[in-house]
Amino acid sequence: MVEVAIGITGVAGRMGLALVRRIVQMPGCRLAGGVDRKDSPAQGRDIGELAGFGSCGILVGDDALPLFAGVDVVIDFTSPSALKMHTDLAAQSKTALVVGTTGLEEAHLAMLTQAAKHVAIVQSFNMSLGVNLLAGMVRQAAAQLNEEWDIEILEMHHRMKVDSPSGTALLLGEAAAKGRGRNLAEIADRGRDGLCGPRRAGEIGFASLRGGNVVGDHTVIFAADDERIEISHKASDRGLFARGAVQAALWVKGRKPGLYRMSDVLGFSS
């Protein structure tokens, strides 16, 4: 069997190192390289040592160009500011890309759509099977329950998280909005503070908590008069997301250009 050669951008980050640990355990793929920011203290260090399993002879690099040119698939968990460079390189080199980075705005989503005309890209704000299954359940519940049921999405993450609401909360909000046949941007309330007045009928509210080392908790609440439904997902180890991202990398190799979701990888697109 020919192994899929995987490169990682943001290799020295929390997710980058979780990906390294996953790839080395996983049959059918091999770690072919990794890069991080030029000013990262991890520059030049052995990736295996950083990931805690001993030297593997692959050092953290600072140039994404040869990385994209030399692998089958790149997995990106970095920051929104790096996305343009990585989507451009993927499109030029025709190297498939898996993007897990969150905090993406409309302009970033447009970059992904543009690059996906030339190369296969899987993008998801959450790579876990559980959350993608939850999204399907939320969509279905939102379609069944009328606007007398208020939808609120609560998330908690570790103290280092920089974007809010989490990408997963937005993914779940999208699912709820789709269920109601609405556009999330028009009905989202992304934070209440002060005298903000009563809740607008039909809006989808978001609330974010930050603290400790929480990997990712999400609850979607459907609240009506006298009753409430709550559906939750709790992630306890980011290895979970690494597992999904590597599964996506194996799935996307050789696909025709296009923008794919984790639901495509998992086989439950609706």
The catalytically annotated residue of 86, 157, 233, 253 is: 157
Binding-site string for ligand NAD from residue 134 to residue 173, where x marks contact by CB under 6 A and - marks none: ---------------------------------x------
Structure-token pair, residue 47: 């990736």
Binding-site string for ligand NAD from residue 11 to residue 40, where x marks contact by CB under 6 A and - marks none: -xxxxx------------------xxx--x
> What single-letter DSSP state applies at residue 245?
H
Size of the site for ligand NAD (CB under 6 A): 26
CB closer to ligand NAD, 199 vs 268: 268
CA distance 40 to 146: 50
Span near ligand NAD by CB under 6 A; candidates 96-104, 113-121, 186-194, 218-226: 96-104
Q: Is 158 tagged catalytic?
A: no
Structure-token pair, residue 222: 């459907």
CA distance 199 to 235: 30
> What single-letter DSSP state applies at residue 82?
G
Q: Which helix (H) or strand (E) holds 233?
A: strand 227-235
What lies within 8 Å, CB to CB, of 37 at 6+ separation is 62
Please tell me whether residue 7 binds ligand NAD under the rule CB under 6 A.
no
CA distance 109 to 125: 12
Please tell me whether residue 222 binds ligand NAD under the rule CB under 6 A.
no
Structure-token pair, residue 127: 């790579």
Cβ atoms of residues 206 and 189 within 8 Å: yes
Closest residue to ligand NAD: CB criterion: 13
Q: Is 94 tagged catalytic?
A: no
In whole angstroms, the minimum distance from the beta carbon of 245 to ligand NAD comes to: 7
In whole angstroms, the minimum distance from the beta carbon of 11 to ligand NAD comes to: 7
Q: Where along the sequence are the contacts to ligand NAD (CB under 6 A)? A: 9-10, 12-16, 35-37, 40, 77-79, 82, 100-103, 124-127, 167, 238, 241
